[in-house]
């Protein structure tokens, strides 16, 4: 008998499909943990145990059979309220599920509540805390998905990324966070923020679970690594990002990972790299201003102060700056092969270091924004701990469209790290502070 609390999503689904495990056993194990820890963690914006129990009574089969998954509250759901993290939409019930949510449910997964998002996935944090230290942020905007997964509330979770909203919180919470290539996973039914930047993000306990999740919602069987990976990919250490003021612990973790992986070559930044930060900011500002114009014009008084500030900052961005940002992106994409050279993927920080103290900010996305603008597939994997014992991840990046190569390569890197004794994350049965 497997333990649903520590089993992979793959293991749970295999046991449920083989009738060796009943879905209600899975659900009850997670419900018990949520009941004990959610009052302080605050990972959910909406959760109903009876809805979860009812779902477990239905016949289940498929690649996600019996696997609970958290849903960031910017994905539409018919069976649960969808507020997009805002009082503007309190109690709102969409007419259909987001496409990705529907595909996960259709594959046998159990929709396990709506997880906390910052308001409209922008800058206004909510009260969710880090599962390893309640005084620290879990990151954002996919705050509840990362915190809930780190606290073992569910084995899989949906997020989104427009700047660094999946990979950064994944790093802070000791889980795997994957941002697909732009267009790989359908965004129908996900609250728009920036048409050129928004990407569905996926979170899991390990790379293979993330790949399984991706294979379902992208409808791409080739995304799932077949058994144990046979070789470590050719990796380039993207050293330029060391100039982005990372913590000493973050640098140490990155260099240790590079040393363990071996055969890593240093890759320098091309001349256009630095300017992509401003380009991403301009594209984001112009498009978010349009996407949130109805809420701004009709419901200003219901928006959070941080959202007021965020929207007001966008006012000075012109169409010409948006055009220039898109042009900078396109020019960089045309030169991307030269950046990668003969490397299969690049490795860099996923976040500046451990999760920052305080809940008033979700941390900085400096290591993510340029890759998000380029639409590259990227993944954060747990790779070590900082001086305060909190998780630190590393980010692996592949060329656009090479998601299968990224996931297979990331699984190989993960295998090498675990064989070298690098723990994936703190033991979920022995977490300090919040989760204990």
Q: What residues are labeled active site?
A: 72, 141, 165
Instruction: Name the 3-class secondary structure at 43.
Output: coil
Beta bridge partners of 345: 235
Task: Return the number of other C-beta atoms located less than 10 Å from residue 377's C-beta.
Answer: 28
Quote the crossing angle between the two packed helices 403-419 and 248-261, to the nearest 10°: 90
How far, in Å, are 75, 85, 143, 362 from residue 92 at the CA level?
A: 12, 11, 21, 26
- How many whole angstroms separate alpha carbon 119 and alpha carbon 127? 12
The two structure tokens encoding residue 84? 């997009």
The two structure tokens encoding residue 1? 């008998």
Cα dihedral: 295, 291, 105, 143 (round 10)? -70
CB distance 248 to 354 below 8 Å: no
The two structure tokens encoding residue 230? 């046979």
Residue 347 contacts by C-beta under 8 Å, 6 or more apart in sequence?
Answer: 235, 236, 237, 238, 254, 257, 258, 261, 264, 394, 395, 396, 397, 413
Residue 360 contacts by C-beta under 8 Å, 6 or more apart in sequence?
Answer: 125
- How many whole angstroms separate alpha carbon 98 and alpha carbon 116? 17
Beta bridge partners of 114: 46, 71
- How many whole angstroms separate alpha carbon 300 and alpha carbon 297? 6
Residue 128 contacts by C-beta under 8 Å, 6 or more apart in sequence?
Answer: 41, 42, 43, 116, 138, 143, 144, 147, 359
The two structure tokens encoding residue 364? 């900085």
CB distance 101 to 76 below 8 Å: yes
């Amino acid at each position: 008998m497997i333990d649903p609390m520590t089993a992979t999503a793959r293991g749970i689904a295999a046991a449920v499909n083989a009738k060796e495990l009943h879905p209600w056993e899975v659900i009850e194990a997670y419900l018990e943990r949520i009941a004990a820890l959610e009052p302080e963690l605050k990972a959910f914006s909406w959760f109903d145990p009876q809805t979860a129990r009812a779902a477990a009574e239905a016949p289940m089969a498929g690649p996600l059979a019996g696997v609970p998954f958290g849903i960031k509250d910017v994905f539409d759901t018919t069976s649960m309220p969808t507020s997009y993290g805002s009082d503007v939409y309190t109690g709102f019930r969409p007419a259909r599920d987001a496409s990705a949510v529907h595909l996960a449910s259709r594959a046998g997964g159990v929709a396990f509540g709506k997880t906390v998002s910052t308001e409209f996935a922008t800058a206004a944090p909510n009260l969710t805390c880090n599962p390893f230290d309640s005084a620290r942020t879990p990151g954002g905007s996919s705050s509840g998905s990362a915190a809930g997964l780190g606290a073992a509330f569910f084995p899989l979770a949906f997020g989104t990324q427009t700047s660094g909203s999946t990979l950064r919180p994944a790093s802070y919470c000791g889980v795997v966070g994957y941002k697909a290539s732009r267009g790989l996973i359908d965004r129908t039914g996900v609250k728009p923020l920036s048409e050129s930047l928004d990407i569905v993000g996926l979170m899991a306990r390990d790379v293979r679970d993330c790949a399984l999740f991706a294979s379902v919602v992208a409808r791409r069987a080739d995304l799932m690594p077949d058994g144990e990976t046979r070789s470590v990919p050719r990796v380039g250490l993207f050293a330029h990002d060391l100039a982005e003021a990372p913590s000493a612990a973050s640098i140490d973790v990155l260099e240790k990972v590079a040393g363990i992986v071996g055969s890593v070559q240093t890759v320098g930044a091309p001349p256009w790299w630095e300017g992509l930060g401003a380009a991403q900011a301009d594209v984001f500002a112009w498009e978010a201003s349009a996407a949130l114009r109805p809420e701004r014009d009709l419901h200003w008084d219901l928006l959070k102060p941080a959202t007021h500030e965020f929207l007001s900052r966008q006012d000075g961005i012109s169409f010409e700056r948006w055009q220039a940002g898109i042009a900078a992106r396109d020019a960089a994409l045309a030169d991307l092969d030269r950046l990668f050279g003969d490397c299969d993927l690049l490795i860099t920080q996923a976040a500046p270091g451990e999760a920052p103290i305080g809940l008033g900010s979700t941390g900085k996305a400096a290591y993510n924004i340029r890759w998000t603008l380029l639409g590259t597939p990227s993944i954060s994997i747990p790779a070590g701990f900082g001086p305060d014992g909190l998780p630190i991840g590393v980010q692996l990046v592949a060329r656009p469209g090479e998601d299968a190569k990224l996931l297979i390569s990331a699984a190989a890197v993960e295998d090498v790290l675990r064989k070298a004794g690098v723990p994936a994350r703190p033991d979920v049965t022995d977490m300090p502070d919040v989760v204990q």
